[in-house]
Amino acid sequence: MVKYELALVISTKVEDEVRDATLDKIKDIIEKAGGTITNVDDWGKRKLAYEIQKMPEGYYYFIAFDAETTVPAEIESRVRIVDNVIRYLVVRQDA
């Protein structure tokens, strides 16, 4: 198993319940793809480096997970179409 981290920015235009449901959906995608979540780091609302979809801020989350090498591509393809996610990036963590 390889260690990965998913950086996620969720829209500020949604209610708290919708944001929590979106985060739960992302966690579910990771687990269904075969990943094991080890840590979820909530950074809260932060200013974006540049406006995305006319939004100056977003909710930042970092999800650490262990998975096989084929899993990140599958996760990215599914996260790409999730509503309210404005940016995402899966990176491999070096041991």
What are the DSSP calls for 65-87, one per residue? EEE-TTHHHHHHHHHTT-TTEEE
Q: What is the CA angle 21-27-31, rounded to 5? A: 140
- Residue type for position 67: A
Q: Which of 73, 94, 81 is nearest to 2 (CA)?
A: 94
| Cβ–Cβ < 8 Å for 57, 10 | no
pLDDT exceeds 70 at position 95? no
d(CA 83, CA 12): 12
d(CA 81, CA 3): 24
Name the residue with tokens 């449901």: 21
pLDDT in tens, 32-59: 999 999 999 999 999 999 999 899 999 9
Read off the pLDDT band of 71 (50, 70, 90). very high
Q: Where are the domains of the chain?
A: 2-92
Which pLDDT value is given to residue 94? Answer: 79
Domain covering 2-92 in this structure, CATH number: 3.30.70.60
pTM equals 0.90
